[in-house]
Amino acid sequence: MTSASKAARIAPNRGVIHPFDKKYGTDTSGYLSPEDLVTGQDHDSLNYGYSAIAPSVFREALRRWQANSPAVAGRIEAYSFVDVGAGKGRAVLLAGELPFRKIIGIELNAHLARIAQDNIERWRRATRTKGEKRIRMIQADALEFRWPRTPLLVYLYNPFECSLVAQLAEKLAAASRSGSPLVDLLYMNPTCTDTLSAQGLFSHLWTVRIPMDKADADADPYGTASDLVSAFRLRRQP
């Protein structure tokens, strides 16, 4: 099976332009296979490809995170939102709807990171948030990222294989010892929950299947109408 035919089977609607992009003039739609994202860097072979979160799912997941976390309620302004494997940056832009202290996208692929930065600028012009300084995009390996010393909401849209998820969890635990001990994971399509549970570094808070609204379902590259979402919290470190 060729790469193109495999992509067509996995994401039959990959050519559909999402209403989000039509509204803001951005480029966050579509699907890119893992083979499309190979650049010769160390962790290329562990990526799961690119697609963007449905806005209705993202907003409901954030609502549930706030509603089910007493420690978060009323304190979202203290948290930094970090999207690991940010792709073209749609989740970073959606996070801009909430008053996070910082909003950071980390993307290994330089081409996607450039698209995401362009999307941030387009979104700023469309929403007239010219003075918005909270949002930034970083082209880097997430395992080498220097985490903000603030409470963290780390967002994963199933970006890579479980071995990297395990290493990421270890890095977050280490960073919490010199920064804030408050670290939550919001994990979309969580294929590595068993890995996280086996490590024992994060406690599982909840898992729920969130339906997409009609606009999102019609534009979903995979032709699905819901996403599974899990939330985890870093256990108190000794």
Please check whether residue 206 is in contact with residue 230, taking contact to mean a CB–CB distance below 8 angstroms: yes
Say if 2 falls within a structural domain.
Answer: no
In a domain, 49, yes or no: yes
For residue 143, the domain's CATH number is 3.40.50.150
Mean pLDDT of the chain: 88
Confidence band of 8 (pLDDT split at 50, 70, 90): low
Round to whole Å and give the CA distance between 10 and 221: 9
Tell me how far apart the alpha carbons of residues 84 and 174 are, in angstroms, rounded to a whole number: 17
Full domain range(s) for residue 189: 14-234
62/43 Cα distance (integer angstroms)? 29
Q: Which among 224, 215, 221, 220 is positioned nearest to 14, based on CA atoms?
A: 221
End-to-end CA distance of the chain: 50
- Position 79 in a domain: yes
Kindly report which listed range (53-57, 212-216, 232-236) carries the lowest average pLDDT score: 232-236
Mean pLDDT of 108-123: 94
> Which residues partner with 169 through β-bridges?
none
Average pLDDT over residues 80-97: 96
6 is a domain residue: no
Express as a percent the part of the chain with pLDDT over 70: 85
Q: Examine the pLDDT at 131 and tell me if it is beyond 70.
A: no
135 touches 92 (CB < 8 A):
yes
* Section 18-41 average pLDDT: 83
Please report, as a single letter, which amino acid is at residue 16. V
In a domain, 180, yes or no: yes
Per-residue pLDDT averaged across 105-110, rounded? 94
Q: How much is the pLDDT for 236? A: 82
Confidence of residue 191 (pLDDT cuts 50, 70, 90): very high
Residue 224 has pLDDT above 80, yes or no: yes
pLDDT of 43 over the 70 cut? no
Higher pLDDT, 50 or 58: 58
Confidence at residue 1, expressed as pLDDT on a 0 to 100 scale? 43
Residue 170's identity, in one-letter code, is: E
Q: Is residue 195 part of a domain?
A: yes
Q: What is the mean pLDDT of residues 45-64?
A: 86
Q: Does residue 196 lie within any of the structural domains?
A: yes
CA distance 54 to 235: 29
Task: Give the pLDDT confidence score for residue 120 in this predicted structure.
Answer: 95
Evaluate whether residue 63 is within a structural domain: yes
pLDDT band at 6 (very low <50, low <70, confident <90, very high): low
Say what the pLDDT of residue 36 is. Answer: 65
DSSP for the chain?
Answer: --HHHHHHHH-TTTTPPPHHHHHHT----S-B-GGGG--S-TTGGGB--B----HHHHHHHHHHHHHT-TTTTT-GGGPEEEEET-TTSHHHHHHTTS--SEEEEEES-HHHHHHHHHHHHHHHHHHT-TT--SEEEEES-GGG----SS-EEEEEES-B-HHHHHHHHHHHHHHHHHS-S-EEEEEES-TTHHHHHHHTSEEEEEEEEEEPPHHHHHH-TT--SEEEEEEEEEPPP-
Mean pLDDT of the 102-120 span? 95
Measured from the Cβ of residue 238, the count of other Cβ atoms closer than 10 Å reads 4
- pLDDT higher than 60, residue 197: yes
Number of structural domains in the chain: 1
Q: What is the mean pLDDT of residues 131-138?
A: 83
